[in-house]
Amino acid sequence: DEVIKNLPLIDEFKKKFKTSTSIKTKHSVRGEKNEIVDYVYFYLDNQESVGTRIVFDLAPLIVASVEDKTPLYIDEFGIHLHPDICRYILKYFKDNSQSQLIINTHDTSLMRELSREEVVFVEKNQAEESLISRLSDYSPRKDAPIEKHYRKGLYGARPFLRGIN
């Protein structure tokens, strides 16, 4: 009980943990005219996609971060998540400006969702030290295609791959 009480989860999830050992998701079964004719239940832990499981893992952390006005760090943000879900999470944090989301990601399309001050690049040098720079350090024009310029290497922070770069 003490462990569940201290988890950063909303009360509804805490109650589920106490009363069940597994969470099930409910899916509609549709007929020929797209009407709901039945429901089927899946076990979250072994019948749902990795992306769905990640959403369920992140949801209580996101809610707690916004409610408590504490930063949330997500490593490898976007892996196994639909791009629209990633954009939704970014917007949710922007709309709740008292909270802070810190992510690292390989999804360059997310640069379009952030201001120039919010984009930070991390690049390894020859000595394998991490060098940090902000997009705003490069003073890109307001109409600059940021993602395209990044992919061309104008801002650094790209892996060096022989024969590709």
In a domain, 100, yes or no: no
| Domain of residue 25, residue span | 1-48
- pTM for the predicted model, two decimal places: 0.74
In a domain, 6, yes or no: yes
Q: Structural domain tally of the chain?
A: 1
Residue-wise pLDDT tens digits, 18-54? 565 678 889 999 999 999 999 999 988 888 889 998 9
- 97 pLDDT band, cuts 50/70/90, is confident
In a domain, 9, yes or no: yes
**DSSP codes of every residue in the chain:** -HHHHHSS--HHHHHHHHH-SS-EEEEEEE-TTS-EEEEEEEEHHHHS-HHHHHHHHHHHHHHHHHHHT--EEETTTTTTS-HHHHHHHHHHHHHSTTS-EEE--S-GGGGGGS-GGG-EEEEE-TT--EEEEEGGGG---TT--HHHHHHTTTT------TTT-
In a domain, 14, yes or no: yes
In a domain, 139, yes or no: no
In a domain, 131, yes or no: no
In a domain, 90, yes or no: no
